[in-house]
Amino acid sequence: MTDALRAPNAAPAPSAAAGVATGEPLLSISQLTKYFPIRRGLFGREAGAVRAVDGVSLQVGRGETLGIVGESGCGKTTLGRCILRLIEPTSGQIHFDGIDVRALDPASMRRLRRRMQIIFQDPFSSLNPRMTVGAIVREGLTIHKLAAGAEADNRVRQLLEEVGLRPEYASRYPHEFSGGQRQRIGIARALAVEPELIVCDEPVSALDVSVQAQVINLLQDLQRDRGLTYLFIAHDLSVVEHIATRVSVMYLGKIVELASAADVYREPVMPYTQALLSAVPVPDPAASRERIVLTGDVPSPANPPSGCVFHPRCPHPAKDAACTVIVPPLEEKAPGHVAACIKQPPTTVPWHAQQQAGATRQPERHLPLAAITHGVSP
């Protein structure tokens, strides 16, 4: 549990939980890192690395939905794929139901895949255009020898019905379906092997609003009926708020804030989260138009800023030289609410340490969103 709080170079964190569900977590990762080498020249000399995922630790309890939000290039998709070892992580640990996932040989890994599945963003490229819907859904059954022959046909029909498609569609090809329907096919494929964990990688981003709601509701129904655990990756904060129990915010490969969905949306602590939330257009013309507009673009993950990776764009009034030096630990700011910012009290980085790093401004509480009403929390 404490691992979830421990950030790179941080002292052991206080033994408080960041809203972790009770009991043994289903998924626990610590210090997960993925560097993509940048090769240059004729012989592919390594000229640096893109730090796509940079020391991420988190835990996901059984039956919960952990949302991961962030903008493009923040590493959320890479994180999801590293957890499933679809991309081999550079370092760090992954434990799934107590199993050390990274230690598994290829055959054991293939067997474990039955228990952890993925749903993709793009409903067009994620289905093999040369296979019928039935064959696509059936593949997992065949691979894991869960069913064959008429029994498998029956299972496929049941699965299609479960995701809201007509069983007759089994003999059709993916190109005959709309985006929302194709997304349902992808969900049926994942469900076929009866997984416990599903990594949902932007599953509704490519869909229209009305269809998006259908798929979100379907995912929620399935979670309730089957006791699924979701890792829900998205850039759309409103979707994540709707579906997630806890939310973690990523920026440049790191988790910068992690708390229950209610806390993150009611009182975001990390200035990046604040800006991200305030940037979401509110479908209410009467809403106040105050927002924190960040300057500049996200820096390249091949060359992240020193210290706090957010410091070049950070609007926190107490930002100073220390922010460019000290890597902020992911530390508890309120019960069950962790964030990485040395200028938001309380912080485990003492003032004298900050001064040594050139600090000129005392940490001070900065919650600009409290002024902007985002509706009343339940």
Task: Considering only residues 301 through 360, tell me which ones interact with other proteins, judged by CB under 8 A.
Answer: none
| Binding flag, residue 23, other proteins (CB under 8 A) | no
| Rounded Cα distance, 18 and 326, in Å | 23
Scan residues 40-79 and list those touching other proteins (CB under 8 A): 71-72
Least distance to other proteins from the beta carbon of 63, Å? 17
Identify which of residues 24 and 290 has a Cβ nearer to other proteins in the complex. Answer: 290
Give the C-alpha separation, 218 to 188, whole Å.
11
Stretch binding other proteins (CB under 8 A), from 7-15, 19-27, 164-172, 324-332: 164-172
Report in angstroms how near the CB of residue 6 gets to other proteins at its nearest: 28
Number of residues that bind other proteins (CB under 8 A): 95
- Pick the binder of other proteins from 16, 49, 143, 357 (CB under 8 A): 143
Closest CA to 82 of 52, 112, 106, 61: 52
- Looking at 42, 88, 150, 175, which residue binds other proteins (CB under 8 A)? 175
| By the rule CB under 8 A, 291 interacts with other proteins | yes
Q: What angle do CA 159, 164, 166 make, to 5 degrees?
A: 80
DSSP letter assigned to residue 282: P
285 binds other proteins (CB under 8 A): yes
Judged by CB under 8 A, the residue of 6, 235, 319, 366 near other proteins is 235
Distances (CA, A) of 20 to 14, 16, 32, 55: 14, 9, 18, 19
> Stretches 15-23, 26-34, 97-105, 177-185: which one binds other proteins (CB under 8 A)?
177-185
333 contacts 270 by C-beta, under 8 angstroms: no
Cβ(258)–Cβ(4) below 8 Å: yes
Give the residue, chosen from 193, 325, 353, 357, that forms a contact with other proteins under the rule CB under 8 A: 193
> Would you tell me how many other CB atoms lie within 10 Å of the CB of residue 233?
26
- In the chain, the largest separation of any two C-alpha atoms, in whole Å, equals 73
Q: Which listed range, 7-15, 45-53, 91-99, 287-295, lies at the site for other proteins (CB under 8 A)?
A: 287-295
Calculate ∠ Cα 295-301-303, nearest 5°: 90
Quick check: 220 binds other proteins (CB under 8 A)? yes
368 in contact with other proteins (CB under 8 A): no
Count of CA atoms in the C-beta half-sphere (13 A) of 202? 20
Chain centroid offset of residue 35 CA: 18
* Distance (Å, whole) CA 226 – CA 224: 6
Instruction: Give the shortest CB-125-to-other proteins separation in angstroms.
Output: 4
Residue with tokens 């964030």: 339
**Which of the stretches 1-9, 49-57, 60-68, 107-115 binds other proteins when contact is defined by CB under 8 A?**
107-115
Contact track, other proteins, 254-283, x by CB under 8 A: -------xx--xx--------xxxxxxxxx
